[in-house]
Amino acid sequence: MTAFTSTKPYMIRAIHEWCIDNGCTPHLLVAVNSQTRVPLAYVKAGEIVLNLNYSATKDLHIANDAITFSARFGGVSQNLFVPMSAVRGIFARENGQGMFFEVEPDLPPNLDVNNEEKATSTKKPTLTIVK
């Protein structure tokens, strides 16, 4: 039997579009893991809520494997990378309507969901806090 792709990215795109069409502000709830690139100063209890409105993001791309965009935090532009496995939900700020998901296990960066080595050995950069 053919393995189907996850419905999660399709649902995220649909809820995002619904929010925009209804004049609501789409927010993404993210469980920060080793593959997630977000500003760590804004992470609370291992999670971060991100505004996905077009006015708050630049180059927003919701792909099947990750959500990428640039946003300003404290006036500083940062590039964000959120793997689909880290997305806990997407909802409208104004009324809380949306969809929430179970967090998927944090996979090592060189393995895919079928536990097979990826053909490329590109390693995603990680953030390190320097004091």
Q: What is the mean pLDDT of the chain?
A: 85
Q: Indicate if the pLDDT at residue 128 is higher than 60.
A: no
pLDDT tens-place string over residues 16-36: 999 999 999 999 999 999 999
> Tell me, what's the pLDDT at 130?
60
Return the CA Rg of the chain: 15
pLDDT at 48 over 60: yes
Q: Which residues contact 57 (CB under 8 A, 6 or more apart)?
A: 51, 69, 70, 71
Structure tokens at 122: 């590109």
Domains of the chain in sequence order: 8-100 (2.30.30.220)
Average pLDDT over residues 82-95: 96
pLDDT given at position 102: 83
Backbone angles phi and psi of 116, in degrees to 5: -105, 145
Burial class (CB in 10 A: 0-12, 13-18, 19+), 126: exposed
pTM for this structure?
0.77
Q: How far is CA 88 from CA 28, 48, 51, 67, in A?
A: 8, 10, 14, 13
Q: Which contiguous run of DSSP H or E holds residue 48? A: strand 47-51
- The pLDDT-based confidence of 104 (bands split at 50, 70, 90) is confident
Cβ atoms of 69 and 61 within 8 Å: the answer is yes
Q: Residue 118: is its pLDDT beyond 50?
A: no
